[in-house]
Each structure stands twice: as structure tokens, then as C-alpha cells.
Chains A and B, each alone.
Chain A
């Protein structure tokens, strides 16, 4: 990419007869004086209109920019715009900016640009584009005369002058957005037989960029357009035989490894954990202090609670004492002053407070034997047979039975829990022993158990959701409805529903009267899973295994974390990132990207590639030129910015040889400078003496206008 062109200072030394030669390319814009060997100014044919941060005004920047200076501008709203759509100029406002810049860099002075202009255009430029360009040049810049020509043709003529190709030949020009094949007969291009494919250097770079971004989504921000272009220029090549080259890489041969290049991104290892020991000690001390503080607060709270409870207990005991001293008749009035209504309540309150005191102190809870004594009092009516009781007492008895059964149930549950705890403790102990004696085996076993369990859970989950977890497009399975119906559980449900409906028959719907109906209903319900309980158990087991493994195994990654990382195509990394992860491999991308010039189908462009296009072009030549075909194939010239891939000519030769008759003459050469030859050819054309006969002057424009432009066609051999 060119650096910023300097302002030329010798504009006034060029007489108004000397034409300015412009190569208006899709990639680079080149301009200079006729007769010189190199263009004076070259820049990217792009315009950028950012907003200046300080003043807020919109400014225009043409061509390459210095990234350092861009910090003064807000580039978020604006993007680089080109005047081209494919290879045709359509945006003349941008074209005007570009021309402004070009003339200014050339040092233009005076009230108008007073030189004839030779401009390049694409093959068979649509009339509206050509006329708008003419209008721009004539009316805004005051140019006295114009000439339009095809850049590839100029390049060919230039090489013909140098003797690289002859007057009958073929030009294969691969540009930025398109590639052309132009046959030449007796020095003139035969435009009827031209052919164009809409694949060019832009598509190659874009393809490379997309391939790398998809392969390394982690580094997607480092793979910019400019970087992809750089990589393309440096590393891409055209393979002589694409299929064979692919096989080399597929087998992973040594040759393939030699051809692979790597791109190492800058890698900064994450800050190490080994800080200087003072730091560590300080941090540890801080943590310790915080822990201590927390513990102090907890102890304080506990202490206050204990003292509160103690005082309460003390009060209650006093009350009990007083109660005992007081006589029978005075119990109620005495008690009414306090909160408690009967002696029993008081005693239960005492009991409660002692229990909580014990808990606060951390002593084990004593069993509920105190309750037992009151139990027998409460349930006194149970043992008495029904016949001896009044109706009220019967009710009382029922209540007591109920209470007893519930409390017994509670007791039983507590006991069971206690037993389970013991069992689990025992199991844990066993596990620990096993682990201590054979850590490796234990690890393996746990891992295997974890794997099995997680797979089972996954399977069940998959059955439930019908397997549509990652790929949202169910198109091939015929839509959601059909997919659901195929599930076995769903099938079972449907069967139940239909049989139930069938059995019911017409008439009243008595579903729900019998108990079996409720069973059926449960089975039919969507939310019911007969595996429900075991499902939950398995999940609990899985959770336990996960924590266990996380404790003892460093390389363990929980399944849920793995799923998050499956967005990338790479293996999830439980280990920290290394230098290796920042290295990008360019293996088959090196020759896969330029291959699209020969096989545009690879990117979905339904046209013939370069070698096939030559056949098409030769076929399009009318029969009068048949004898010339042999001599034409003897001088095939390759030009254009996107033809500098190594190996292109040999590939082209092989491809064209397949199309031509056996042993007919064939020679493919590259032009001297594929990039600059077009401009040089145009410059030497403009410097020729007969050039003024080929121009379209401003008078012609005013007289004939557009139709004059339509018929305008230059003769290339002067």
C-alpha cells in the first residue's frame, strides 16, 4: 500500500498539450504525466468522511491514512467508501473527491485543469457511467479533451512494444473485483469476444479473512481486512494441481508441513501467581485479621444470646418457684398477671428455653424424654375405650390420636435421618480410605462414574426435548410437530389418550369418578415423568460427584462449563492459555483462497474460472479469426494486480492446454510489472504523436453529447 503521495511542484512546467494519464483502478488510483515511466501519485481509491472530534465538522480523507493521526477523528459513523460498484464507477460524488485530491497532489493551479486527460475504464463501460464521468471532467474541471481506454489493453500494448507478446494474443487481466480475458487481433482488442468473471483480489482477501475468523473465533478482532491482505500477498500461492495438493495436506505429509506457515500473535502471559513473599504474607495476614474479626462478632452475638436466654430461664424458674409457694386457689389470678395460662404451659416454656440455651451453648440436644411425660398426660384419653367417654371426650380422643400419630411420625423421620447421616458418614469414611490407599484408581472410578451419570442425564434430557439442542434448524425432519410425535414417550401418551377417549364413548363424561382414572390422568399429563424420582436422585448424585472431583482433580471441567465453551470450535481449555494458542496456522488456506479465481463455485459465484474463460473467449471469436487462434495462444499475457500469485502462470498453462488441440502452440507469460503496466501503457499511448486524433474534445461534447460518447472508441495501435 502506498504511503501518502507528496504534492508535486512542477505542474507549471508542463505545457497544456501534455496529457495527464489516470489509471482509475478499483484498488489503487494512479495518476501522472504522459511520457513518464512511473505514475507520480498512487493511493487507495477510497474516501473516508469522519467527524472531527474537537470542532464537530465533517472532513474528507482520501486514500490511505496514517492510523496515528486518526485519533483526532470520530470514525464510528463513517466507513471507507469506494466510487466503484464491481468495476464500474457509479458514485460520482466520491469520484469527485478522489479527482480533487489527485489534481491537488499533482499541483494543479490556474482556474481549470488545462490538460487533456486519458482515463482508464472497464471493458464495455455502461454509457451512463461514461457520460457522467465526461460531464464531471468537462464541466467541473474544465478539461479541454478526454480519452477513455481499457487498462488491460494499454498494458498489453506496452508489453507488445517491449516484445514480450505479439500483435495477436490474449490478455488475462485479474483485477480487484473482476477478471477479464481480452483477445487481440492485429493489435486491436476484439471486444465481442471478451469475457469477464466477477471474481477478483477482493474476493480472495475476503475469503481468507472469513476462513481465518471461523477457524480462530477467539482472535477475530486481530484478523482485519488489512492484515488479511498482507497475509495474502505474503503467503498465498496457486497450486499446480488442486486435488493433489489437498491430498498432501489431508494425509499430513512432511511436504504439507513444510508448506504450512504460522502467524504468531503477540502473547502476554497472565500475571503469575508467585508474587514476592512479603506480598503473600501481607495478604495472608489481612485475611486472617478479617476472619478473626468475623469470629469475634459471632462469638459476641452468641454470648449475648446465651445471657438473654439464661436470664429468661432464671425468670421462669422464679415463676415456677412462686407458683409452688402459692396456694391452689390463687393460681389463676396469679398466673393471669403473667403470660402463661396454666402450669403446663409454664413448664413447657421452661423446657423450650433450656433447649435453646443448650443449642446456643453447642451442647447436644437431649432426647425428648421430657415430652414423653407430658405425652402420657396429653394422650390420656387414648387408652380409655370409646364406650366410657362422652361425645366431647370422644372428640378429644380423636384429636389426641391424631396428635400422637403425627408426633410419632416425626420421631420416626428424625430417626431415619439420623441413620442416613450415620450411613453417609460411614460411606465417606470408606471413600476416604479407598482414596488414601489408591488415589489413581479412586480418581478413575469417580471420573468414570461421573461420565456415566452425566451421559445418562444428557440422554434423558435429550429424549425430553427431542434432541433439538444445538442445531435450531429442524427443517429436514419436517417441522416441530412431526418430530414430537415420533418420541416414544409422546407416542405412549397419544395411545393412552386415544384409548381413553374411545372407551368413554358418547354420553356423559364420567372421567374422574374412579381412582384408576386419576392414575391414567397422571400418566397422560405432560409434566409427569415416571422417572422423576430417580432423575432427581441422579442429579443429586451428579452434583456430589462434581464437587468431589473438583476438590481432588485439577484437570476436571464440569459438563456445564464445557457446553458454554462449545461455541468455539476448539477444545475447551481448562488449562491456562499458552503461547501456542496465539499461533494461527495457514495450511491449506494458502492455496485454497487463490483457487477461487479458477473455481468461482467455491464461493458461490456461478461462473467459469480463468482457464475455462479463455476457452469461452476463443470460442466467441468469429470464424474469420480461426487461423489466428494458434498464434494467439502463443502469446498469452497475464496482468492485473491479482495475478501476482506464484504458480499462476503454470496453472493457467496447464488449464489452457486441456482446452486447446493436442500439441498446438501455447505460451503463457507474465507481463513485466502486472500492477503498473496498465498505467505505463496508457502513458506511452498518450505520449504518442497521434494521440490527439483519438480524443473526445469539449466541442464534441457540446455538439454530440451522449451519443457521441456512445460511438467513441479509441484505436489502440498508433
Chain B
């Protein structure tokens, strides 16, 4: 008899609005406090202290517009936040400060979350949806210079880019970008030449979220329908469909693979978080706590595997923290 699924370890309340973005910063050992950043629909970014379960700092820099993406640039003192006010802000949080040191005005009115990749010490690449509806812009940070603009060919009819993932095989090798579009296809872009290497139609509906495992060259994407699609990248850098998984209820808003590549978590429109084994997409658990659409899931980056956590933020203003499959 299988055990019933576990309850959340704790629940963070107090954001006051639907939670759209989550990011853990727990990599530093003692005496650093493990922090969870959450972005809400009212434009507030909260830094939650995971030891006291209270808000350490509240950052308001997007003029009341929803924050849809959060990422730290090398440690928890520098935070990038993307809001629907068409701005990406860089925050300086060292020594208790809360100020915006820099910002990028993307002029993009869509919902596409950015993607950040560290390419060298002190250098990052960030992919973001650009002003023109179908385009993706890649910027180098912190210089904010444009590396390339990825324009699909005329007549491709891909629609808006919905989700982005920058990746490289190893530190120092050529970075590539995987982008999921409104028409349900996933494209692999070569950044140096700005060209499409491969295209795969994974879904009939817009690709809501995707994640990629560069070690196994295998990726997963979810959309607004009932199907999860697993695809892989072969030697010739071609995308191939590998497997699909049918869900009970339609709609996925976020997918994330745990850093140790053992499990995958999906955030569903049916209020449930689903956990799958990453090797063969074996369904492992269905976590049913929230009472509204789950917008975001995130795995923590604890150095100690037994402390690892999974956070889920939903429309019901709550963030649930789970400790699941931490023994492996």
C-alpha cells in the first residue's frame, strides 16, 4: 500500500497577492541564512527567512505590476527581477540595503520569463522576449550589451515566445537557447549565428513552460493541454520527441528539474503539484494543498541533500514548502 503523500513542511503566508515567481538562495553555508525570494502580483518581492519563516525584506520596484521572474546573480546579494512593467531590475541587497542599481527596459508586454546563464566569472547571458512580438533578445550582463536578436523566419507563425532556457553543455562551451512558442513548438537557437538549429512541434497549444537537462540532453515541456512532452537532443543537435505523458487535468504553468536531475516538479492549473522521476517520467506523487492555480515551482539549492526543499507559489497567496525525496 503506497503511503499517502506528505504534507507541506510549512506554509508561508503574507504575500497578500498571487505568487508568480520563486527563487531559493540557500547555497551559502552557515552563518548565511537560507532565503526564498517570492514575487507577487502586486509588484512586491519578499525575501523569506527560511529559519524564522518570516519576511526579512520587502522590495517594491515594479510599480504595482506583477513580478514574474526572479534570479540571483552570484549569491543572494544581487537579485534580478522581471516585472510586467516591461522592466528588469537589478537589486543590491548586501548588508541590508534594498535598492535598484540597474534596470533594463525590455519594452516587452508579454508573459515570457527570462532565462539567465553564467558563462564566465562575472559574465552572464540573459535571454528575454524583445519588443517585437516574435523576437528573443540575448543580453550580456552586467554590461547590458546585446549579443544577438533571434528572429524566426518570415512566415514561421510561431507566435510569442512563451518560455526560454539558456544552456551550455559545460562551462565555457557554446551556449544555446531553447524557446517554447505560442504555436506549441520548441526551437533550438544557435546564439553565435542567430539561427535555428532545430524545431519540434511538441504541443497543440502554447508551450507554457519548459526545462532542459543538459547532461542527458533531454527536456520536458508543458502546455495548457493535458499532455507533458519529453524530447531529446541527438548528436546532430536535432530535437526529437521521445515520450508524452497524459495528465488527469489540463494545464501546466511551470516545470522545473531538480538540480541533481532525479526528479521533476510541475505546477498545475488543477491546484496540484506533480512529482515525476526524471529518468522515465514515472509518476511519483501528487501534492494537493493549494486551492487555486499553482503558478510557480522551484527547487532549493541547499548543499546538504537532506535539507533540500521544494517551494510552490499559487494564486491563493500562499507558498507551500515541501521536503520530498530528500534521501537520495
Q: Do the two shown chains form a genuine complex with each other?
A: no
